[in-house]
Chains A and B, each alone.
Chain A
């Protein structure tokens, strides 16, 4: 793109908002942001634009770049919450004291099948966590990771497990097709 092709700044904020409205909706729909969560994202981005309007040469490109970034950050935040929730859920399932023997065996088999598909590093870490109930500091000691990096590694492994849980059937079907 040549510098000469750069769009002109919209004269009024209202005119600009009318122009970008369909694209904003399309972007939120594409990133599947629940409507109730879009308000903060949009308000922060537009206020930042109002504050920085004098410095921003191409406000439309700026707004959509910023919104895309915020949508992705939104999902990152949601994902982190989900990893923690999945971790807690699996730990709780494994610790269920009143479960019948068959239910417990099924759970262990399903978990083992899921872990088998993960990278070796995650397999050993999550096996220890779910079979022995190890906390990150103990995992670091047992597996030889530094205490400062164990949380990051655990999060990555939980991300891999969660991703498997959420998309595995989909992949199996695709493989089958």
Chain B
């Protein structure tokens, strides 16, 4: 065998590991001699996997040849025809599957409505015992609902995501179009549960949920899009845990996945999230650079809210880095977008930002008016943490004007709100320090800023302790 060359077909089967043990042995023995002719054949079959992490050669070849690349392969009549036959078969199946999926989606929505009308206990019973509820689209609807309600009803978001994991756990590959898709749905349902726990500050439970998602990712079959979605939520957890370098690494992986998939809008969203972490690390320049990149990728028509969030963060970053004039100019151009989105929260954020930028431009009266207005609205909405944050901004305007009486009053009122609801122990401790200083007429602008910065950081990290420098 060492002197007789294997045929190209045998060499191809060798590279594909498709020969019997004895043939594998003979070919391996032959290749050990370093036969250049046979290596020509095997090396050409080896090439594709050398591009494992670099799709660029293909993209460039495709760009150079366009559709001709496919036609060129058609020159190989046997291979071209075989691909055509496969494509015909698969396309037929997929077109037929489209209507099945549409039907499944409609059923999933009905099942969701049905599920929401029964008690929590009965929901679990139905999902565990009734085959009717073994529906992928129901799982998708639950995932969606958990995400949509995460801020307004954070506890409900957990419950709904738990139902999603229950449905996902009962699904079979044939319910989802294959094992890979099933693993993707399961991984995503665990990730959404992890995210819901994170928003409720249940970080240990969040970690457990992400561990379940990660074990599915480790099996290696989850699609890149599902993988990126899971990793995105995981990066948010790392951010909340102040594990910034790990979060950055994860964001870079997610960006690489979205680039590979050509999903530019999702890449833009990821850059927006990564920019937030830069901001939290105090890297204002890095934050602004990423936000500009994100704004170039996010489509304002298709994703107006995400685009607005990126613009809002950029204006805020400009203001916080002392570039209030630029912030003011950008705010002027962004105002129509805020008004277009139309929801009250966005308008309040606009007004708040107007106050902050006015303060940066030393227009103290304008700033005070804006902060007062926003504070009153947050009190009416019962958003206590926001009340505290904007109260400190208002306190800043009093501090620079030397209005110690007003400052004391606002400090007392804000502390009273926190004490009445008994929320966020450490934030309350920080407000207590601020209030005590105000009572002694010693609450200067530095202390106000320090308490304000602490409240921003402590919001997602209830474990953070306040230790005043002033």
Bound together: yes
Residues of A near any B CB (own CB < 8 A): 1-4, 6, 13-14, 17, 21-32, 34-36, 38-39, 42-44, 46-48, 50-52, 56-58, 60-62, 64-66, 68-69, 71-73, 75-76, 78-79, 81-82, 84-86, 88-90, 92-93, 106-107, 110-111, 113-114, 163, 165-170, 172-173
Known A-B contacts A92-B25, A167-B46; the reply to A26 vs B69 at CB < 8 A is: yes
Q: Which of B2, B83, B178, B268 contacts A35 (CB 8 A)?
A: B83
Q: Give chain A's interface secondary structure class.
A: helix
Q: Which of A22, A44, A107, A167 contacts B180 (CB 8 A)?
A: A44
B402-431 CB contacts (< 8 Å) to partner A: none
Shortest Cβ distance from B13 into A: residue: A34
What chain B residues lie within 8 Å of A28 (beta carbons)? 73, 83
Question: Do residues A170 and B296 form an inter-chain contact, with CB atoms below 8 A?
Answer: no
Residues of B near any A CB (own CB < 8 A): 2, 14-17, 19, 21, 24-25, 27-29, 31-40, 42-49, 51-52, 55, 58, 61-62, 65, 67, 69-74, 76, 79-80, 82-87, 89-91, 93-95, 97-98, 101, 136, 176-178, 180-181, 184, 220-221, 223-225, 260-266, 268, 296-300, 302
What chain B residues lie within 8 Å of A85 (beta carbons)? 17, 19, 21, 24, 28
A29 to B80, CA, bound (A): 9
Q: Which of A13, A26, A35, A166 contacts B15 (CB 8 A)?
A: A166
Question: Do residues A58 and B263 form an inter-chain contact, with CB atoms below 8 A?
Answer: yes
Question: Do residues B265 and A93 form an inter-chain contact, with CB atoms below 8 A?
Answer: no
A-B contact count (CB 8 A): 258
Shortest Cβ distance from A79 into B: residue: B49
Shortest Cβ distance from B299 into A: residue: A3
Known A-B contacts A57-B302, A166-B31; the reply to A71 vs B25 at CB < 8 A is: no
Question: Do residues A66 and B223 form an inter-chain contact, with CB atoms below 8 A?
Answer: yes
What chain A residues lie within 8 Å of B73 (beta carbons)? 25-26, 28-29
Q: Give chain B's interface secondary structure class.
A: helix
Question: Do residues A14 and B58 form an inter-chain contact, with CB atoms below 8 A?
Answer: no
Question: Do residues A6 and B95 form an inter-chain contact, with CB atoms below 8 A?
Answer: no
Q: What are 16 contact pairs spanning A and B, CB under 8 A?
A: A1-B297, A3-B264, A6-B299, A35-B82, A38-B86, A47-B97, A48-B223, A51-B176, A61-B262, A62-B262, A90-B28, A93-B25, A168-B39, A169-B35, A170-B40, A173-B39
Shortest Cβ distance from B104 into A: residue: A51
Question: Do residues B21 and A82 form an inter-chain contact, with CB atoms below 8 A?
Answer: no
Question: Do residues A22 and B24 form an inter-chain contact, with CB atoms below 8 A?
Answer: no
Q: Name, among A26, A68, A168, A172, the residue most crowded by chain B CB atoms within 10 Å (CB to CB).
A: A26
Question: Do residues A50 and B79 form an inter-chain contact, with CB atoms below 8 A?
Answer: no
Question: Do residues A25 and B31 form an inter-chain contact, with CB atoms below 8 A?
Answer: no
Q: Name, among A25, A73, A88, the residue most crowded by chain B CB atoms within 10 Å (CB to CB).
A: A25
Question: Do residues B87 and A66 form an inter-chain contact, with CB atoms below 8 A?
Answer: no
A23 to B376, CA, bound (A): 59
Question: Do residues B58 and A68 form an inter-chain contact, with CB atoms below 8 A?
Answer: yes
A88 to B83, CA, bound (A): 33
A113 to B266, CA, bound (A): 50
Question: Do residues B224 and A50 form an inter-chain contact, with CB atoms below 8 A?
Answer: no
Question: Do residues B82 and A36 form an inter-chain contact, with CB atoms below 8 A?
Answer: yes
Known A-B contacts A1-B264, A43-B93, A69-B223; the reply to A110 vs B32 at CB < 8 A is: yes
